[in-house]
Chain A
Amino acid sequence: MSPMGRLRMLIDSLSHPRVTEKYPYEPIPIPEDFRGKPEIDPEKCIGCAACARVCPPNAITFRDDHEQGYRVLQVFLGRCIFCGRCQDSCPVGAIKLTKEFELVSLSKDDLYQVVKLELAKCVRCGKYTVPYRYIKYLMEKGPKILKYELLLCPECKSEVMTLIKYHYAQEVHE
């Protein structure tokens, strides 16, 4: 039971300050690139749902209300693993991980962030399709395709495309 190591340890400890943080009473330093609570900017969000598709734990989900004409994009922090894939995939930078990490809440409702976006109507059949903003974004940044195509619902689109192809083929034939 040699005392030397212990004595050294004791003196070393006593000659250094305590390391206990005063955390709840004082803020704690957070590094620059910290991945905290994801926050979605409802102004910027175009409702493309790319984030919902990459989200590994299904924390981001979307639901289309075809009656009322809304797309509801919902971020549920209870499932979030703070991986930041949504941030990577967002084309407009609407969703970002903040430095906030104090997410304790007494109510589950506080953990939801909801973005409600109006859906555009199919110009042909009148069914709701995708959010207006998405169409707008695609009009501006998207590939140079037939712009009016964007205003159609998928069924109409395929019908129209078939029609177009048919007419085109006939034209060629003729």
Chain B
Amino acid sequence: MIPENYIVTIPIVLFIVASLAIVLKKETSVKVSSIISAIGSSTLILVSFIGFMHDIDVKYVIWDANGSSILSSLCTVHIHIDKLSSIFVGLTGIITLLASVYAIKYIEKHKSGYYRLLSFSYPLTVLTMYLLFVSWDLLWLLIFWELLTLFSQFIVVFKGDKEAISGAYQYFTITKACADVLVIALVTLIIIVTGLKTSYDDVSLALWAYFSGNKAIGYLLAILALVGFGAKAGLAPFHTWLPKAHPAAPTHISAILSGLIVKTGVYALMRTFLVFFPTDATIGLIVASFGVLTIIVGNMRALAQDDSKRLLAYSTIGQIGYILLPMGAGIYLMGIGQTLLGGFALVASLYHTINHAFFKSLLFLTSGSILYATGSRDLNIIGGLSKQMPYTAFAALIGALSIAGVPPLNGFVSKWMIYSSLLPSATVISLFGIIALAMSAVTAAYIMKFFTAAFLKPPKVKLDVNEVPGLMSATQIIAAAFCILLGVYPNFIVKVCSDALISLGYPISYESFKILPGVVLPNTAAFMPILVLMAVFLLAPLLGLAVGVDRIDNTWTTGYPRPTSAMTSFGYYKDLREGFSEYYSISKELLAFARRLSSAILRMSSSYEDVSYDLNTMLYGAAVFLVIGIFVILWGVIS
């Protein structure tokens, strides 16, 4: 049995090795780095498993500095994997494993791009993400946070065309130059508040004490944290970079960006609000309000998209809202003493985080397959792919149905938990619940637009395409299987999530959900998802196939034999959107304002960027820095 200290470092080593694939040629480099990353990702799953069983706590002392505590924090890398971290690490492991495997074939289709940049930064992105989840120190969190932004920015820029560069630029400037300033401010404040102790334990202890005395500053801190971390998660008014950056990246990266990297923001927010801050109703309300705003903005915008990946990117924003809303609501309900519903909401939030990682990366992978097969992302042009790409279509259908919250897929379970906890609370939160419920129909509408436009409606031009290679469709099918599994057998995840929350000290017990009559758990409820599954998903197609068709004929175009035509993607729900034209015009105004604001920030930050580095020096500088850092860590372990 390898000692835990080493287990934690195995992925680190593997990812660094993967990043060394930079020395190879073009596609080969990407393939090699993907393969090694895949192995690294599987070790992540192992780490997460062990971490969930019992907390792992490892300290790498780089050198022993007994001086000021801030220096000692920097000198020590404190890796601590608690249950919350291990959930996120596990997610990282699974999703990146799928993405890496997917990338092996997918990358062949790309004709040009910065291959080496990709093969170098991709493993490092995963690595920094991993380290971010496991580090137990605010300063190191900040360091990894910055590095993650840096490396993930490089992979966004991979294609090197105008879209990619501007997407990466927006991504970098907004999340880094804008939000990171806030994070730095926040961390500084915390350090002052906590007396320069940056370990999570110290921070949470000190902040709880401080908060009761200085509510105003506490709220300020909360808002700063929300904006700072939330910007990376795609929180509503600060989301503008997301739909530009995510579609620009190669698809397996988009899947990671949407499935995981936004989750770093969620993780940081959870860490902050569930651990550092006391469960205060006002904070919860603030978070929940931002969550609702994010839901509305993301969903309504997604309804109007023509580009498949852009649509999914907006959908990510909306789904982040569905994660933040129950989180805020949970904190709020905890704060006002409705612990049962509150705990339920928090579990729902965590559950939805997991679900979203699966179905969103699945959907991005299918959109990548479409891109791979047809070379287009434009929902106006593609269409009717379900015949040529049946596996992809099946996977996409599962993904689409689960994001739409169709029982018994996973999206339904977490959404059902959200409404079940929010609606009966008899507070303003229930209005948020109503909005979330209403917006879930919009979710269904836009995701059905994505699915039907890509796979069912007749294509505008005849497409001669084939199913994607087996490796790619296999990853999609696996992700789809997860979507089904998490929906059909939810109690495992509910247990995991509630355990994680319990370990954070919340008065939730998995058993306590049984007090609620019939949570969607087979052993406690009359509602058996498996029954619905059997009935709808198996019986219906079986019945349909049993009935069969007697005759296949031309499409009935009211008697005039002309080829069938397809709806433009812009035409979908045009009247619905016109019905909400007020919303769109308001949001247009707001967007214009945000654009002015961001351009001002851009101007500032771009001068800052210009002075500090051009791309190459940035890359080398970062690489050298990282390699040195890692060696130092390893050295600390050995000594």
Q: Are chains A and B touching directly in their complex (CB below 8 angstroms)?
A: no
Q: A residues bordering B, Cβ < 8 Å?
A: none
Q: B residues bordering A, Cβ < 8 Å?
A: none
